[in-house]
Amino acid sequence: MATLVLTTVGGLVGGPIGAALGGLAGQAVDRNVLFKPKGRQGPRLTELAVQTSRYGQPIPRLFGRMRVAGQVIWATDLVEHRGRQGGGKGQPNITTYAYSASFAVALSARVIRGVGRIWADGNLLRGAAGDWKVATGFRLHLGGEDQAVDPLIASVEGVGLAPAHRGVAYAVFEDLPLETFGNRIPSLTFEVIADDDAVLVGLIAREIADRVLVGAGPAMPLAGFSAYGDSARGVIETLAEVSGAWFAPVAGGLAMLADATPTRTLRDEGRMRRIAPAARVPRSLVVSHYDPERDWQTGVQRAARPGTDGAALAVELPAALSADGAKATATAMLTRAEAGRTTRRISADATAIDVVPGMVVSIDGEGGAWRVSAVSIERFGVTIDMVALAPPTLAARASPGRVLRPPDAPSGGTIVHAFETPALIEDGSGLPRVTIVAAGTAAGWRRAALQYSVDDGNSWVPAGGTAAPGIVGTLAAPLAAGPTTLADMRNAIHVVLAHEGMMLANADAGALDRGANLALVGDELLQFGAAEPLGGAAWRLTRLWRGRRGSAALPNAAGTRFVLLDGDSALALAVDAEIGSRIRIMASGVGDPAPVEADVVLTGASVLPPAPVRLLCRVADGVLTLGWRRRSRMDWRWRDGVDAALGEEREAYRVTITSAAGTQLIETAEPRAAITFNAGEDTPMAIAVRQIGSHGLSPAATLAMGGD
């Protein structure tokens, strides 16, 4: 008696795989790892989610488009970068440390087309448009058999000692800044584009089986698949389970079949069937998969049948499927398991001697299709065992659920503004402070590296990075001069912000009194109480408080800068330079083809007291009596019954009187002075009063007397 048997492996819902096919096909299969004895595991979802660096860890072969963590295969030690800020005039300097790393991550043991988005600790490191959120060197090796050694690895390991990793697609990061990631290499995941379009199950299985499988195979498309694990057989079984495929010997090898169209009609006079207990079929089946609509995060879809008997079965599918596709797959797998309960055995004459395991047949006079599982030939008869095939299932609808995607707006170019104002925050250094506010031309801008020069660019000092993205723009229409002691209800500011993602808010009088909505327009500090959006990035600002912190409420032309001074976005940079020096600021963001510069001339506004005000004089009996009011560079909020804080080590003033007779200097500790002169003369004189601050003289309050 000759017997051909097609056994069923892979679980209750698994498609049948030939384990003993006999003849040349069977020998070829036995020699290949594909069908060695079971006990090995196929790929699992969790094996792609966490980045590892273990010796001997398998590298997946990727198909379609997948999101994988990869495996770190090479890295340098962390590189320390030092920066120094402050110092000078007896003040200590501050040394800052930043770290970067260079490393390589293996992605696929198969040639890929490219890489899309890259996530670092769940946040986008590289966007869909290929824009980087953090400045870094990056090279991608596609995994060809002729790829060259990476130049960085070769320079570190030595020429002739660095492997090219041919046949492995890998990414190399060079000097990736780590301060955003807690000074460690972040956990990375990559959107790998291995193929331009969806890949058919048959193509994947044929490539993995290494010339054992022949024919087209199942036409089920997968958006992506990761062939991962210690056994090719486990991967093939997984593909067969989800596609409903089975295997049959053919000329030249083994065919993976999924077409349920009968190719032969047989007669069955007895019409005897055997139906297995329902408990052998799962009651429900859950398919876990990667969902492209969820940025390749894990999705779960479930199918169930009526009844209470049977177990619940979970299938981890390392493939990218839509929610609808996963639901349809789960339903089809459960339907096939239910249909597989029904088997039959028929006896045929010698005309059926060409029937072989794996063939799809129909029974004369009946509907449906049957897969031949075993054939026995004895004397002049043929005994054929068959398993019922499930009919096609209807398309299923499913929801992928909600996903919170990290923002992926382009970073755009850097906009940087540098200026000196009365100190927003007192740091006690005594050095002039340049306030820097930076933003981007697009909503994805985050920060830029800063350097400054006090010697007109001959040398540059690293200053770390910018603060949080600011809100900046330009005036769309001129702004007239306004009052500084009353709210300006007549004028309005028409401003166009740098991009539509920037927002302004209203503030009531109490919030304004506490410093809300402080902005720099040209060189004037002002506040606004009402912000009205006009569409796009245009706004209209009203209820203005002008001339804040002693600034002048002068006219400003269209195109003048507008900078909102928010505590989170304003960076105060202490510079060791003389008043009158020109400070150059250079900012470099990830979206800048070249560094962006701004400059400011130090006026001392950040460290010197403002000029005295209300300078008055009274002449009587040959005595000129002067009086004035001081102002503070630190205390700008009105408080009833309390004078403004002095803000200096001591109160002192210098009075300069210039006339034809010469220059006279008077220093006093009180806001008044008395000068004796010849009352009979009407000599012109110029009077200037300056407050003596801890770090220098204030601007002068002036008065001219006498003459015509």
- Res 46: pLDDT: 52
- Res 159: pLDDT: 84
- Res 9: pLDDT: 31
- Res 312: pLDDT: 85
Measured between alpha carbons, how far is 8 from 180 in angstroms, rounded to an integer? 53
- Non-local (6+) Cβ contacts of 520 within 8 A are 417, 419, 421, 561, 562, 563, 565
Integer CA distances (angstroms), 557 to 130, 204, 601, 707, in order:
39, 66, 21, 38
Measured between alpha carbons, how far is 303 from 559 in angstroms, rounded to an integer? 63
- Res 37: pLDDT: 39
Condensed to tens digits (0 to 9), the pLDDT of residues 509-552 reads 999 999 999 999 999 999 999 999 999 999 999 999 999 998 99
- Res 591: pLDDT: 85
Q: Let me know whether 576 and 635 are in one domain.
A: no
Q: Let me know whether 531 and 645 are in one domain.
A: no
Q: What share of the chain is helix, strand, coil (3-state, %, to 5)?
A: 10, 40, 50
With a cut of 50, which residues of the chain have pLDDT below it?
Answer: 1-41, 88
Query: Any idea what DSSP says for residue 547?
Result: S
Residue 488 inside a domain? The answer is yes
Last residue of a domain, one of 571, 601, 631: 601
Residue 158 inside a domain? The answer is yes
Last residue of a domain, one of 537, 569, 601: 601
Residue 341 inside a domain? The answer is no
Measured between alpha carbons, how far is 248 from 253 in angstroms, rounded to an integer? 9
Condensed to tens digits (0 to 9), the pLDDT of residues 593-606 reads 899 999 999 999 98
- Among residues 706, 519, 499, the alpha carbon closest in space to that of 619 is found at 706
- Res 324: pLDDT: 94
- Res 18: pLDDT: 41
- What sign results for the dihedral spanned by CA atoms 565, 567, 570, 576? positive
Question: Mind spelling out the 3-state secondary structure of 621-655?
Answer: CCEEEEEEECCCCCCCCCCCCCCCCCCCCCCCEEE
Q: Are 492 and 511 in contact (CB under 8 A)?
A: no
Q: Let me know whether 454 and 479 are in one domain.
A: yes
Residue 589 inside a domain? The answer is yes
Measured between alpha carbons, how far is 53 from 58 in angstroms, rounded to an integer? 11
Q: Let me know whether 588 and 679 are in one domain.
A: no
Q: How many domains is the chain built from?
A: 3
Condensed to tens digits (0 to 9), the pLDDT of residues 447-459 reads 899 999 999 999 9
Q: Let me know whether 596 and 624 are in one domain.
A: no
Residue 131 inside a domain? The answer is yes
Show the tokens assigned to 60. Answer: 């997946």
Measured between alpha carbons, how far is 321 from 152 in angstroms, rounded to an integer? 37
- Res 379: pLDDT: 78
Measured between alpha carbons, how far is 7 from 213 in angstroms, rounded to an integer? 18
User: Phi and psi dihedrals of 102, rounded to 5?
Assistant: -120, 135
- Among residues 182, 174, 179, the alpha carbon closest in space to that of 83 is found at 179
Integer CA distances (angstroms), 37 to 154, 160, 242, in order:
42, 41, 21
Show the tokens assigned to 386. Answer: 């068959």
Q: Let me know whether 513 and 628 are in one domain.
A: no
- Res 107: pLDDT: 96
Q: Let me know whether 574 and 472 are in one domain.
A: yes
Measured between alpha carbons, how far is 191 from 680 in angstroms, rounded to an integer? 92
- Res 51: pLDDT: 67
User: Phi and psi dihedrals of 520, rounded to 5?
Assistant: -105, 120
Which 3 state secondary structure label does DSSP give 404?
A: coil
Residue 392 inside a domain? The answer is no
* pTM for this entry: 0.75
Residue entry with tokens 């506490």: 514
* Domain span holding position 635: 613-705
Beta bridge partners of 297: 291
Q: Let me know whether 512 and 561 are in one domain.
A: yes
- Res 505: pLDDT: 96
Q: Let me know whether 594 and 626 are in one domain.
A: no
User: Phi and psi dihedrals of 238, rounded to 5?
Assistant: -60, -45
- Res 245: pLDDT: 93
Q: H or E stretch including 467?
A: none
Residue 344 inside a domain? The answer is no
Which 3 state secondary structure label does DSSP give 440?
A: strand
Residue entry with tokens 């949080």: 468
Q: Let me know whether 568 and 627 are in one domain.
A: no
- Res 25: pLDDT: 36
Give the chain's length: 708
Q: Let me know whether 110 and 160 are in one domain.
A: yes
Measured between alpha carbons, how far is 192 from 179 in angstroms, rounded to an integer? 26
Q: Let me know whether 526 and 665 are in one domain.
A: no
Residue 444 inside a domain? The answer is yes
Last residue of a domain, one of 170, 186, 202: 186
User: Phi and psi dihedrals of 239, rounded to 5?
Assistant: -65, -40
Which 3 state secondary structure label does DSSP give 155?
A: helix
Q: What is the DSSP string of 270-335?
A: S--EEE--GGGS-SEEEEEEEEGGGTTEEEEEEEE-SSS-S-EEEEEEEEE--HHHHHHHHHHHHH
- Res 57: pLDDT: 80
